[in-house]
């Protein structure tokens, strides 16, 4: 009890209420029914429920939209925290939503609309290709992506970690084509049920969750023309508003690293298009007076609660945010 009291007091000092508040935002992609050895950073349902119970015990969890408004007005409670998801995976609805509802928590789901209703993101095509490859070596040097050993689980993980960052920064059409060609080369049967349906997005909204924009095709905004970026952002929001019948006021930059993935002009564009705030993937916390169109987020990889808590405390202490 004494240790818990001390820990809570430390967090209160790091994230006090009112005008000196510091908002933490968590970022997830998947919540898997069972652990996937090829995606070790993604939480299983059991791990996610444990983490959310821990978070709700130690932090005051708020919807991101409410947290942003309270931050502007200097009315955040001590230890404020918001939960977000990116991309629009079906497990967000099927696995994460029941857990969130069970615990009385709300989250914001940033959805790339071009992959709804049977679509598939390039990274999943690559992961499934590596998973299903029967040979001990994957030669994709003709795509400029090298030769990769696949004899062990560790080698397959390493191959994914090397291939995905390089494919990610290809032009959109080439990115999808290369990912598909890798899958075809190994004879992989690619799933078409990884992403949410429009009905599932509507169900999230009906359940009290918040829906945010994440473009149509998840491009690296810094790598496309500004007008194309405008269309991606605006068209994605329009589709989500059609699905939910509600305004979409929050946005998440695809991939989300300042300077590398988006720049100052993209933050200005999001503001110009009428959003209230936007989130990046730079680590840090947000305080009063910060740029609400570059809110940092924390990716909770650590499994033990104490390590997660320590990293989150360090996140509150430091100023890790690199502004675009």
The residues, ordered by sequence, that sit 6+ positions from 270 with a Cβ below 8 Å of its Cβ are 233, 251, 278, 293
CB of 156 within 8 A of CB of 188? no
pLDDT the model gives residue 145 = 97
What SS3 class is residue 138? strand
pLDDT the model gives residue 321 = 46
pLDDT the model gives residue 18 = 85
Q: Are strands 147-149 and 210-213 parallel, antiparallel or unpaired?
A: unpaired
Domain 2-117+193-317 architecture:
Alpha-Beta Barrel (3.20)
Give CATH 3.20.20.370 domain extents, the chain.
2-117+193-317
The 3-class SS string of 239-294 reads: HHHHHHCCCCCEEECCCCCECCCECHHHHHHHHHCCCCEEECCCCCCEECCCCCCC
Q: Return d(Cα 232, Cα 111) in angstroms, integer.
A: 12
* Nearest by Cα to 83 from 21, 14, 28, 42: 28
The 3-class SS string of 153-180 reads: HHHHHHHHHHHHHHHHCCCHHHHHHHHH
Q: Return d(Cα 62, Cα 106) in angstroms, integer.
A: 7
Q: What would the DSSP string read from start to end of 49-85?
A: HHHHHHHHHHSEE--HHHHHHHHHHT-PPSSEEEEEE
CA dihedral 1, 25, 238, 29 (to 10 degrees): -80
The residues, ordered by sequence, that sit 6+ positions from 222 with a Cβ below 8 Å of its Cβ are 259, 260, 261, 262, 263, 266
Q: Return d(Cα 119, Cα 54) in angstroms, integer.
A: 34
Per-residue pLDDT of the chain (324 residues; tens, 9 = 90+): 545 555 667 777 878 888 888 999 999 999 999 999 999 999 999 999 999 999 999 999 999 999 999 999 999 999 999 999 999 999 999 999 999 999 999 999 999 999 999 999 999 999 999 999 999 999 999 999 999 999 999 999 999 999 999 999 999 889 999 999 999 999 999 999 999 999 999 999 999 999 999 999 999 999 999 999 999 999 999 999 999 999 999 999 999 999 999 999 999 999 999 999 999 999 999 998 899 999 999 887 778 888 888 888 888 876 544 466
Does the predicted model carry a pTM greater than 0.85? yes
* Nearest by Cα to 281 from 305, 252, 302, 308: 252
């Amino acid at each position: 009890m004494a240790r818990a009291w001390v820990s809570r007091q430390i967090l209160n000092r790091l994230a006090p209420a009112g005008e000196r508040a510091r908002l933490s935002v968590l970022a997830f992609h998947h919540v898997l029914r069972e652990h996937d050895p090829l995606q070790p950073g993604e939480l299983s349902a059991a791990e996610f429920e444990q983490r959310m119970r821990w978070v709700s015990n130690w932090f005051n969890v708020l919807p991101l939209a409410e947290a942003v408004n309270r931050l502007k007005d200097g009315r955040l409670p001590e230890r404020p925290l918001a939960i977000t998801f990116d991309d629009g995976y079906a497990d967000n609805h099927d696995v994460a939503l029941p857990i969130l509802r069970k615990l009385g928590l709300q989250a914001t789901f940033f959805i790339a609309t071009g992959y709804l209703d049977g679509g598939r993101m390039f990274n999943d095509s690559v992961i499934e290709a590596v998973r299903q490859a029967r040979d001990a070596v994957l030669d994709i040097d003709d795509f400029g992506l090298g030769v990769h050993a696949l004899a062990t689980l560790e080698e397959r993980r390493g191959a994914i970690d090397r291939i995905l960052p390089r494919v990610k920064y290809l032009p959109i059409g080439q990115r999808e084509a290369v990912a598909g060609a890798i899958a075809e080369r190994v004879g992989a049967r690619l799933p078409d049920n990884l992403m949410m349906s429009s009905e599932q997005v509507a169900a999230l909204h009906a359940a009290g969750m918040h829906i945010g924009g994440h473009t149509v095709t998840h491009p690296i905004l810094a790598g496309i023309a500004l007008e194309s970026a405008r269309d991606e952002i605006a068209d994605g929001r329009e589709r989500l508003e059609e699905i939910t019948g509600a305004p979409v006021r929050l946005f998440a930059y695809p991939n989300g690293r300042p300077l590398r993935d988006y720049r100052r002009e993209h933050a200005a564009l999001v503001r110009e298009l009428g959003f209230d705030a936007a989130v990046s993937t730079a680590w840090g916390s947000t305080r009063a007076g910060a740029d609400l169109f570059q809110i940092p987020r924390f990716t909770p990889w650590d499994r033990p609660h104490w390590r997660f808590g320590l990293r989150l405390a360090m996140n509150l202490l430091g100023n890790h945010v690199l502004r675009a």
